[in-house]
Structure 1
Amino acid sequence: MTPTKITLAATTALVTAGLAGAAAAQEYTIGITQNNVGVDSYQTTYEQAFIEAAEANENVEVVVLDAGGDVARQIAQVEDLIQQEVDAIIIWPTNGEAVIPAVRKASQADIPVIVTNSNIAEPGFDFVASFSGPDNITQGARSAEIMCDRFTELGIQDEAQIVQISGQPGYTTAIERAQGFEDRLPEVCPNVTLMETQPGDWNREKSQQVMEAFLVKYDDIDGVYAGDDNMGVGALNAARAAGRSEDIVFVGATNFAVGYEAMGEGDYWGSIYQSPVDDAEAALQTALDVLNGEDVPFLNYFDTPKITQDNMDEFEKPVF
């Protein structure tokens, strides 16, 4: 299987034109292998933003790959980028554990690896130059605070029962957001009961099916925490169809446009504001900083604030 490769922006013409005007500038070739571009609008927008950021830098050539959610394909893509002798590799891991051997190979080939959006598992940290993305544990914790604050406003903080729809199993972002939520909720609302967690795989339709099963199983659901708004709106759609949405507090993370719209309609309470454009631009810049020998923190986080119906007017509608 040969990975699809996109070398951007009429690469030769772009780079040559740039170097003609700045002969002393360092030219870099950077490869990126993404998780699954077609699975949701966040990843689609991320790829577009990454390409635009690369096109804007006349001294950067990039090879853009998509693993399509397939771990084996992503490992093959990393190995292909190593064979191409790119200057740096950016990886959005399909699975934080499974990609470690491939990342190790890149490190052994003296190619710096930047992990983007979702970190690899800790045993692979020695082979990574930097992680660029959101602090997903903090995101989960902030979502727990949003939910607890809302329950307190409603006076049900000592009796509320909730369910959780998590992301793709084995995926670091899913694990960390669930961990952050589950660790923080008992600290702020110790009497809230988390009845069950099921994966929604970042997919709206699957999350709707998960929520339909929850609604059949549990007569009393006061809140739903979803690992992103795509899944959260899937859960909301199930509750709407069952006539139970008005009785449930929906809280997500990564505020999608559909989540923002549902908040505006009064059906979805809150989320965490995260921009795929910021995410993509930060990944490319982190790679360039590493290649230029700058001092880059290992965990290079960008901020992701809370957004609820109360303060959503302070934020622009997400572009994804």
Structure 2
Amino acid sequence: MNVKLKTMIAGTTALAALAIGGAAMADGHTMKIGITQNNVGVDSYQTTYENSFIAAAEANENVDAVVLDAGGDVARQIAQVQDLIQQEVDAIIIWPTNGEAVIPAVREAFNAGIPVIVTNSNIAEAGFEFVSSFSGPDNVTQGSRSAEIMCEKFTEMGIQDEAQVVQISGQPGYTTAIERQSGFDDRLPEVCPNVTIVETQPGDWNREKSQTVMEAFLVKYDDIDGVYSGDDNMGVGALNAAIAAGREGIIFVGATNFAVGYEAMERGEYWGSIYQSPVDDAEAALQTAIDVINGEDVPFLNYFDTPKITQDNQSEFTKPVF
């Protein structure tokens, strides 16, 4: 099947879309599924997700997919949802740019009778009634598991009663960032009650910004024993700052194990993370949409597993492709 590029205009926003799939089947069972993603170019996870989604859609002759990217712009994403509604797609998959701001657009789709599947990062709870299913990782659990990894390492080192931690969170207002932080913040005191989180600052999923945040932490605090980052892209930015400053012995723990995090673990510079596959993420979202269209019973929170990965067990995991 061919992937053809077409440009559509929705309101005043120009939208680039990939239309995927062949002609409608004779029995009329072709499903038209639209997806609006958060920001494909921002990191390798999202790029790999898009490529995997396109491949999965192309491999299914019953699917005709319209693939859109909001470029991190809430207004553009809302316009994209409205455009998909006008196209009368059978389902809309949304990777929200902002968990609160997209709720009115999701409500519009719901009112138009189009099921909405939220992928990767959930919308705010106020919008749950308009959503058929969330497909993605359990981000609160990821944060909790990261806290456990860090506590276990501090205990092994014998510093569990005095360690100080700084945290670099994701993009403010973004559900994944909020959930990973809350999971970490809630779990760490349960397992290591005497460890202190001295400060949290956002790194916006960006390696360079996270490096700058960490540089400021290193100037401000003489004693940093651990760094928790909402993903490994940010975590490696923080690691780079520590290496440049000559600060050794800091335990780095992330979530969403990127290739750069995996490689830093192999070098012994980065301790642990949470293993999450963008391929699994994309394929699960598409399958969830297909199941919803077919009237199958789909759980509202349709999680795929994301296990702990540390230097101790990383040989059990293949290096991430992103």
Instruction: Please give the TM-score of this superposition, normalised by the length of structure 1.
Output: 0.96
> Do residues 287 (structure 1) and 313 (structure 2) align?
no
Contact 1:103/1:113 (CA < 8 Å) preserved in 2?
yes
Identify which of 8, 15, 26 aligns with 2:23.
15
Amino acid paired to 1:181: F
Provide the rounded CA distance (Å) in 2 between the counterparts of 1:166 and 1:25.
46
Answering whether residue 60 of structure 2 is matched by residue 52 of structure 1, we say: no
- Report the 3-state secondary structure (helix = DSSP H, G, I; strand = E; otherwise coil) of the residue aligned with 2:14: coil
Q: 2:184 aligns with which of 168, 181, 187?
A: 181
The corresponding residue for 1:266 is: 268
Alignment partners' CA distance in 1, 2:215 and 2:81:
39
Aligned to 2:249: 247
Matched-pair contact (CA < 8 Å) for 1:25–1:59 = no
1:314 to 288, 313, 316: 316
Any gaps of 5 or more consecutive residues in structure 1? none
1:157 equivalent in structure 2 = 160
In structure 1, the residue matched to 2:5 is none
Q: Which residue of 1 aligns with 2:95?
A: 92
For residues 119 and 44 of structure 1, the distance between their equivalents in structure 2, rounded to whole angstroms, comes to: 19
Report if aligned partners of 1:15, 1:59 keep a CA contact under 8 Å in 2: no
What does residue 2 of structure 1 align with? 14
Determine the C-alpha separation between the residues in 2 that align with 1:26 and 1:195. Answer: 56
Tell me the distance in 1 between the aligned counterparts of 2:47 and 2:238: 22
Aligned pair partner of 1:133 in 136, 147, 153: 136
What SS does structure 2 have at the residue aligned with 1:96? coil
Out of 106, 123, 126, the residue aligned to residue 126 of structure 2 is: 123
Matching residue within 174, 195, 198 for 1:195: 198
* Displacement of 1:25: 6.6
Residue 6 of structure 1 and its aligned partner are, at CA, apart by: 1.1
Q: Which residue of 2 aligns with 1:236?
A: 239
Deviations 1:123-172 (A, max 9, x none): 00000000000000000000000000000000000000000000000000
**Whole-Å Cα distance in 2 between the matches of residues 203 and 312 of structure 1?**
24
Identity level (%):
82
What letter is aligned with 2:73? D
Q: Is the 8 A contact 1:15 1:60 kept in 2?
A: no
State the AA in 2 paired with 1:234.
Answer: G
Q: Which residue of 2 aligns with 1:26?
A: 29
Question: Any idea what SS the aligned residue of 1:4 has?
Answer: strand
SS at match of 1:211: helix
Distance 1:198 1:214 in 2: 9
Where does residue 43 of structure 2 map in the other structure? 40
- CA–CA distance in structure 2, aligned partners of residues 3 and 87 of structure 1: 20
Query: 1:52-110, CA deviations, whole angstroms, 9 ceiling, x for partnerless residues?
Result: 00000011011111001010110011011101111100000000000000000000000
CA distance in 1 between counterparts of 2:65 and 2:213 reads 39
- Counterpart of 1:168 in 2: which secondary structure? coil
**Is residue 2:299 matched to residue 1:297?**
yes
Task: State the number of aligned residues.
Answer: 310
Matched, 1:80 2:80: no
Show structure 2 runs of 5+ residues with no match: 1-12
Equivalent residues in 2 for 1:200-219 (5 A)? Answer: 200-219=203-222
CA RMSD of aligned residues (A): 0.8
State the distance in 2 between where 1:30 and 1:160 align: 49
Instruction: Give 1:3 deviation, angstroms.
Output: 1.2
Q: How far apart, in 2, do the equivalents of 1:228 and 1:199 lie?
A: 11
Are 1:102 and 2:114 counterparts?
no
Give the 3-state SS of the residue equivalent to 1:263 in structure 2. helix
Stretches of 4+ aligned residues off by more than 6 angstroms:
none
Q: Once the 2 structures are TM-superposed, how far is the Cα of residue 24 of structure 1 from its aligned partner?
A: 4.0
CA distance in 1, matches of 2:134, 2:106: 13
- The one-letter code matched in structure 1 to 2:23 is V
The answer as to whether partners of 1:228 and 1:252 remain within 8 angstroms in 2 is yes
Match of 2:7 in 1: none
Deviation sequence 1:13-48 (CA, Å, 0-9, x none): x235xx3xxx44711100000000000000000000
Q: What letter matches 1:81 in structure 2?
A: L
